[in-house]
Structure 1
Amino acid sequence: MPASTVSPELARSVWKATEPLHSHVYFAPQRLDVYAAVGLEPKVMGYFASRSAPLGAVGPEAVAATFYNFNPELIASVIPQAWGVATPDAVVGARTATADLSLRALLGEEAIGSAELAEAAELARTAAEGAAHHAHGRPLFAGLTGLGWPKEPHLVLWHAVTLLREFRGDGHIAALLAARIGPLEALVTYAASGASSASGLRKSRGWPQAAWDAGVAATAERGLVDVAGPDGALSATDEGARLRAEVEARTDELARPAFEALGPDGCERLITLASPFTRTVREAGILPGTRKR
């Protein structure tokens, strides 16, 4: 097989330019009514059920394994109960409906119908369909490949970017496992890098304080983080920063095959086309870290 001309760095740039077009669906206000209409508690149950539904009515163990850094007890509080009130197919439909309503509200009908969005959708779909040739060992991505493609361009774009995100995420878990970084260690080292607050990560992933403290202690004992002050502020050690950078670089490398079908020019074109839509989503203030004041 000839060497790819798409670099890991370019693969990362495409991810950064498109990620909010996927992740907005987890925070869209429209999800509250849509998930409630199919019987789901819309926040915690809605998140875990909607993201895992392409796998079928799996149990909490499978969801915890594929989501990796969430507290399994939090997952078990809503899975498999969710499948008793809504089938996976109904949940998949609810998430797609949420994406439709959210993107229409965020981007507006002019952007939804634009030639630029349609071209971005086709490029992203080409990448996602190319990624399907590398699905082994990527369960969340593989589950999504079993779904049919939407017809409207804005939903094609959303679905394609979702596929690419889960392709990357499955690879990230593989990189964490290879580096012997467990679920709590992954969160602790991420917080120590300064990328997100420790309290925000702990709460959003459902870890009680005692479990978090034990995870911090284990990560510090391994020499990956330093803990300072009465508030337990985290900072990465040289070894922790090196290992975290290695994981990120490996993640970029594992994501790269998804973009072989586009080549560098196609990747750059997708970045150019998607960036204005992504900027609009960010500026709406619904994503974490982008809240409007």
Structure 2
Amino acid sequence: MKSARAAWRGLEPVHGMIYFVPEARRRYADLGLSGHAGYFASRSAAFGRASAELVISTFYNFNPEVVRQALDGVWDTATPQQVLEARYAAAGEALRRAGIHEPSDRDEILALSRRAAEAACDSAQGRPLFAAHAALPWPQEPLLQLWHAQTLLREFRGDGHVACLLSEGVGGLEALILHAATGDVPAGFLKVSRAWPEDEWAAVAERLRERGLLDGDSLSSEGAALRRHIEDRTDRLALPAYSVLGDTGCERLAELAPSFGRAVVEAGLLKFG
């Protein structure tokens, strides 16, 4: 389980950069989509003409009103296919800028990650965001195949994480506040990126303190235990993707992944704003 989590963490920047790079913003702007509209349309385009309510339910932790505003009329401005094409084009441009197409072990990591992503398709039930992306055709270019593979692995894990949060009675904003309380991600970034106003954040934080999950702005011992429980369950739910690799293959993927993730970070592809 540890090697599977390490493999996902190490390679995650290869997917995650698409939400930050200027290549994506330019491509979406060319279609008439800017700001939140580009983000929500691009990530949900695999559903087709996704409604705001579908995006709210599957993305889980975004301010619903911002989602509704962002998606209002978006599919009259651009088709889902146009948005998908823009997203893949931007991913290729950005990853080439980071030199991800050059490493000699790219083919090996592609083979491992694609095998894991394809294995995940046997456990798609109950994972709507993953299933929508898994139904898309695989790109022809190896670089984009790697990005697509990690996209599938990310959404597979993410759907499992949402299921864990839901089963533990942790709502979307509650999950963000508990995440911020770990100190791993600044609260300010989560407020802005998920578009939650300060007063709503403060009100929910107070409820979490009343539940004994927060001590001030930090996790209480009970809150830390709940976070560990949810993360451990998320890891277990992600295993169907990685178990096909066996211990050796999973450890090899975990060994290769960090250098690709570092290349993305060092190229500045994860800069917010």
The answer to which structure, 1 or 2, has the higher relative contact order (CA under 8 A, 6+ apart) is 2
Residue type matched to 2:262 in 1? R
2:10 is equivalent to residue 17 of structure 1:
yes
Structure-2 separation of matches of 1:104 and 1:46: 21
Answer yes or no: is the 8 Å Cα contact 2:23–2:90 preserved in 1.
Answer: yes
1:209 to 180, 198, 205: 198
- Partner residue in 2 for 1:4: none
- Partner residue in 2 for 1:99: 91
Give the drift of 1:114.
4.5
2:228 is equivalent to residue 245 of structure 1:
yes
Structure-2 separation of matches of 1:149 and 1:37: 24
Residue type matched to 2:9 in 1? K
- Partner residue in 2 for 1:67: 59
Answer yes or no: is the 8 Å Cα contact 2:94–2:269 preserved in 1.
Answer: no
2:180 is equivalent to residue 191 of structure 1:
yes
Query: Which secondary structure state, in structure 2, belongs to the residue aligned with residue 180 of structure 1?
Result: coil
Q: Deviations over 1:71-121 (max 9, x none)?
A: 0011011114211111111111110000010011111xxx51544112211
Structure-2 separation of matches of 1:30 and 1:240: 39
Stretch deviating more after TM superposition (63-72 or 267-276): 267-276
Structure 2 residue runs without a partner (length 5+) = none
Name the structure where helix makes up a greater proportion of residues: 2
Answer yes or no: is the 8 Å Cα contact 2:61–2:175 preserved in 1.
Answer: yes
Give the drift of 1:203.
1.7
Which residues of 2 match residues 146-225 of structure 1 at below 5 A? 146-225=135-214
Query: Which secondary structure state, in structure 2, belongs to the residue aligned with residue 262 of structure 1?
Result: helix
Answer yes or no: is the 8 Å Cα contact 1:58–1:80 preserved in 2.
Answer: no
- Partner residue in 2 for 1:88: 80
- Partner residue in 1 for 2:259: 276
Answer yes or no: is the 8 Å Cα contact 1:57–1:80 preserved in 2.
Answer: no
* Runs of 4+ residues deviating >3 angstroms: none
2:269 is equivalent to residue 286 of structure 1:
yes
Query: Which secondary structure state, in structure 1, belongs to the residue aligned with residue 212 of structure 2?
Result: coil
Structure-2 separation of matches of 1:125 and 1:247: 26
Q: Deviations over 1:39-74 (max 9, x none)?
A: 211x31111111011011111111011111100011
Structure 1 residue runs without a partner (length 5+) = 1-7, 228-233
- Partner residue in 2 for 1:231: none
Structure-2 separation of matches of 1:151 and 1:193: 40
Answer yes or no: is the 8 Å Cα contact 1:138–1:167 preserved in 2.
Answer: yes
RMSD: 1.4
Q: Deviations over 1:143-200 (max 9, x none)?
A: 0011000111111100000000000000000111111111111011111111112222
Give the drift of 1:10.
1.9
Give the drift of 1:17.
1.0
- Give the TM-score normalised by the residue count of structure 1: 0.90
